[in-house]
């Protein structure tokens, strides 16, 4: 059966085969991965029958404090009663919902609807806020639209110059490297900006290794050089953009030697980069988390968008600016209502027309829809406090490992009156819950995902979930029905007949059916920025996915955006002047080193899944702290020796890994592990004022022998 990998935003095509209850993965020719998969994709089915898989709801026993198996009836009763009690005592906003960028479009949509209609709370946000929110905000303000790649991935192979900023696809999405290889075989030039010599940087023709947190200075210097050396496309700037004069003034102050003094990138490398971009017939600039996960992430991305616009790249085949989205449905997950300020179709929740449209689809009065909530970290940090929610429902997320300043977030979760977590494994967050609901996995459910290109794909169920397990949609449908006061659910909704409820809301069976939910999503998104109205499951099946926007059943989809106009009111892209500013926390005598986090090939996000896959555990068994040998010598640390990394917010411990591929003033650790090796114990919770993105990529630490 043809489907897609459950993990990252590349959403590699794969075929699943079931024999004697064992599921195996076969390669599938799909336009993005062309038969390739990484180790995570090949091993994904192992979790379907993993011994640690949850197959029964768990309820915390008040007497012993332990989680114990319970019936669905008891679990749903406990949740419904708990939510009602909290809302009666503290108001509707005392309940919050936290989603994830791995949920299908149908689930992300249903979660937003559940929060706004069933709970009527304004508090919903999701872990995608920690992933692509800075690039999303920068894209919206420059282009009027946020789609990770506004062109098909195959364009990478056509570009003459490719600049990757804070992106390490060789480790995060290895099949994408085939496009980089094709690009280089055609004589293209690959330039990587990264503070570490990553697996991707090793393949580059030129590697710029700036101090973490100085990418924006580098971007401004590159545009400065493009101006002085005459690479700016004057016609394009005049006819397709607005606001260049102010940007020209700002970058005038970023002469290359100034940028070198700040970032450590030699002037010659800055000039070579600007020339490679400025003289190429086709050039692409891509950013990823390294540039985006900063308290100035939106401005940093804007700096590179300014550069791309000045060179006349966006909208031209084989050229442009794009963001490499991270999570499996990071793109679709941010389009359909999980974000605190959004309604489906990428509509703003404070836009009266948008509210009226969505309210009509949902069958509720527009003035009953709550207003905007707060971004993820602000929400998590308010939990259990006098000002914040007292109950939280978590779907597809593990903030105890993935949130910044994680020990504080963990404390907030412990302070809640009610924590409910839906997951298929006992994640670190689920382990704190009052109620844990066992959910279906990717090969057990139908739905759609939207990959990093904005291509909507079909996820297909190979087999039903095991006994005792329900899908997220079934859980949301059952909770909605109970909160409305209808019949308690003692059977999964998929086994019950479809009918409508008296109040015009979908019946429990309808709300649990992904096909019905997608049909409603299409109506809700119609006319919005992310318009899915013309996308049907059949249409996706008939092609290799459908690119949004696609407003009409029989009209074209949109693989390539911005060829004629941008999605702004006047069709022009917006330049915006952006100035470098220091990191939220600078090094000092007590914390003299820069700390940055990232990923390793064999693990995914908070590691709940991949840490339990035997082959991946063997490949990447534990966290580590990467140190330059010179720094290690100064600290008296040897390779493999346990070290403690301390910041103002906490500490973690892991073995040292010595590498000349990192700057001697910078320390790196992967963030996939919890417990004593949790890198996010030390990260900074300062956030970008526009996107709400926390500053994962730089803070001040000291390192000690453990």
Q: How far is the CB of 12 from ligand SF4 (least distance, A)?
A: 3
Q: Residue 185 contacts by C-beta under 8 Å, 6 or more apart in sequence?
A: none
Q: Which is nearer to ligand SF4, 343 or 616 (CB)?
A: 616
Strands 206-208 and 189-193: parallel
Q: Which is nearer to ligand SF4, 8 or 593 (CB)?
A: 8
Burial group, residue 137, by CB count within 10 angstroms (0-12, 13-18, 19+): buried
Q: What is the DSSP string of 364-386?
A: S-GGGS------HHHHHHHTTSS
Q: How far is the CB of 120 from ligand SF4 (least distance, A)?
A: 36
| Binding residues for ligand SF4 (CB under 6 A) | 5, 7-8, 10-12, 33, 37-38, 40-41, 173-175
Q: How far is the CB of 159 from ligand SF4 (least distance, A)?
A: 20
Q: Which is nearer to ligand SF4, 332 or 344 (CB)?
A: 332
Burial group, residue 51, by CB count within 10 angstroms (0-12, 13-18, 19+): exposed
How far is it, in rounded angstroms, from Cα 483 to Cα 55?
Answer: 24
Asked if residue 8 lies in contact with residue 172, where contact means CB atoms within 8 angstroms, the answer is yes
How far is it, in rounded angstroms, from Cα 376 to Cα 593?
Answer: 28
Q: Which is nearer to ligand SF4, 174 or 545 (CB)?
A: 174
Q: Which is nearer to ligand SF4, 577 or 670 (CB)?
A: 670
Q: Which is nearer to ligand SF4, 345 or 670 (CB)?
A: 670
> Is omega for the bond preceding 549 within 30 degrees of 0, making it cis?
yes
Asked if residue 357 lies in contact with residue 351, where contact means CB atoms within 8 angstroms, the answer is no
Residue with tokens 């996010």, as numbered in its chain:
680
Q: Residue 306 contacts by C-beta under 8 Å, 6 or more apart in sequence?
A: 219, 223, 247, 251, 575, 576, 578
How far is it, in rounded angstroms, from Cα 236 to Cα 232?
Answer: 9
Q: Residue 634 contacts by C-beta under 8 Å, 6 or more apart in sequence?
A: none
Q: Which is nearer to ligand SF4, 168 or 214 (CB)?
A: 168
Query: Among 628, 598, 627, which Cα is nearest to 696's?
Result: 598
Token pair, residue 472, equals 């997220």
Q: Which is nearer to ligand SF4, 41 or 551 (CB)?
A: 41
Q: How far is the CB of 149 from ligand SF4 (least distance, A)?
A: 15
Q: How far is the CB of 42 from ligand SF4 (least distance, A)?
A: 7
Q: How far is the CB of 30 from ligand SF4 (least distance, A)?
A: 10
Q: How far is the CB of 21 from ligand SF4 (least distance, A)?
A: 23
Q: How far is the CB of 399 from ligand SF4 (least distance, A)?
A: 21
Dihedral (Cα; 583, 128, 482, 74), 10-degree rounding: -80
Q: How far is the CB of 25 from ligand SF4 (least distance, A)?
A: 9
475: helix, strand or coil: helix
654: helix, strand or coil: strand
Q: Which is nearer to ligand SF4, 5 or 383 (CB)?
A: 5
Residue with CB nearest ligand SF4? 41
Q: Which is nearer to ligand SF4, 12 or 400 (CB)?
A: 12
Q: How far is the CB of 50 from ligand SF4 (least distance, A)?
A: 17
CA neighbours closer than 13 Å in the CB half-sphere of residue 224: 23
């Amino acid at each position: 059966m043809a489907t897609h990998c459950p993990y990252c935003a590349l959403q590699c095509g794969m075929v699943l085969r079931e024999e004697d209850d064992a599921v195996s993965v076969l390669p599938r020719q799909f336009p993005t991965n062309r038969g390739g998969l990484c180790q995570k994709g090949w091993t994904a089915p192992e979790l379907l029958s993993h011994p640690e898989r949850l197959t029964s709801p768990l309820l915390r026993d008040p007497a012993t404090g332990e989680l114990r198996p319970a019936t669905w009836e008891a679990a749903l009763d406990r949740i419904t009663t708990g939510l009602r009690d909290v809302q009666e005592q503290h108001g509707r906003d005392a309940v919050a919902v936290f989603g994830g960028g791995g949920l299908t479009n149908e689930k992300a949509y249903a979660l937003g609807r559940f929060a706004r209609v069933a709970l009527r709370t304004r508090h919903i946000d999701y872990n995608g806020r920690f992933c692509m929110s800075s690039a999303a905000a920068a894209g919206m303000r420059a282009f009027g639209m946020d789609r990770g790649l506004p062109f098909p991935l195959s364009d990478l192979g056509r570009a003459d110059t490719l600049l990757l900023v804070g992106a390490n696809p060789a480790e995060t999405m290895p099949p994408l490297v085939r496009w980089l290889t094709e690009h280089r075989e055609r004589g293209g030039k690959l330039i990587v900006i990264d503070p570490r010599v990553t697996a991707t940087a090793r393949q580059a023709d030129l590697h710029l290794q700036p101090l973490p947190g100085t990418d924006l200075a580098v971007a401004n210097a590159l545009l400065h050089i493009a101006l002085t050396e005459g690479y700016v496309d004057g016609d394009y700037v005049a006819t397709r953009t607005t606001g260049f004069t102010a940007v020209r003034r700002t970058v005038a102050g970023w002469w290359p030697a100034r940028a070198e003094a700040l970032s450590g990138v030699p002037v010659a490398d800055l000039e070579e980069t600007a020339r490679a971009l400025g003289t190429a017939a086709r050039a692409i600039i891509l950013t990823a988390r390294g540039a985006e996960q900063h308290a100035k992430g939106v401005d940093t991305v804007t700096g590179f968008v300014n550069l791309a616009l000045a060179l006349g790249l966006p909208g031209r085949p084989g050229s442009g600016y794009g963001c490499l989205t991270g999570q499996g449905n990071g793109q679709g997950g941010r389009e359909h209502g999980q974000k605190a300020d959004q309604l489906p179709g990428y509509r703003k929740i404070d836009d009266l027309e948008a509210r009226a449209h969505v309210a009509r689809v949902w069958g509720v009065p527009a003035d009953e829809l709550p207003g905007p909530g707060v971004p993820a970290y602000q929400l998590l940090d308010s939990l259990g406090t006098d000002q914040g929610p007292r109950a939280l429902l978590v779907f597809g997320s593990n903030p105890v490992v993935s949130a910044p300043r994680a020990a504080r977030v963990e404390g907030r979760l412990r302070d809640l009156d009610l924590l409910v977590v839906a997951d298929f494994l006992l994640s670190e967050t689920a382990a704190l819950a009052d109620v844990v609901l066992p959910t279906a996995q990717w090969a057990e459910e139908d739905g759609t995902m939207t990959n990093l290109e904005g291509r909507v794909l079909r996820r297909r169920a190979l087999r039903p979930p095991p006994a005792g397990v329900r899908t997220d949609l079934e859980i949301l449908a059952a909770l909605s029905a109970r909160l409305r006061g209808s019949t308690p659910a003692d059977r999964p909704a998929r086994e019950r007949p479809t009918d409508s409820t008296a109040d015009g809301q979908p019946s429990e069976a309808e709300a649990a059916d992904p096909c019905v939910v997608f049909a409603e999503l299409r109506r809700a998104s119609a006319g919005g920025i992310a318009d899915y109205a013309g996308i049907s499951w059949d249409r996706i099946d008939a092609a290799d996915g459908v690119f949004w926007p696609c407003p009409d059943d029989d009209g074209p989809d949109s693989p390539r955006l911005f060829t004629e106009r941008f999605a702004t009111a006047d069709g022009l892209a917006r330049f915006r002047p952006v100035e470098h500013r220091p990191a939220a926390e600078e090094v000092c005598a007590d914390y003299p080193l820069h700390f940055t986090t990232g990923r390793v090939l064999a693990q995914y996000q908070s590691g709940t899944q991949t840490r339990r896959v035997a082959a991946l555990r063997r490949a990447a068994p534990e966290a580590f702290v990467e140190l330059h040998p010179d720094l290690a010598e100064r600290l008296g640390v040897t390779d493999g020796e346990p070290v403690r990394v301390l910041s103002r917010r906490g500490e973690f411990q892991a073995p040292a890994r010595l590498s000349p591929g990192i700057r001697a003033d910078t320390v790196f650790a992967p963030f996939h592990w919890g417990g004593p090796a949790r890198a996010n114990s030390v990260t900074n919770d300062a956030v970008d004022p526009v996107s709400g993105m926390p500053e994962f990529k730089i803070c001040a630490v000291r390192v000690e022998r453990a």
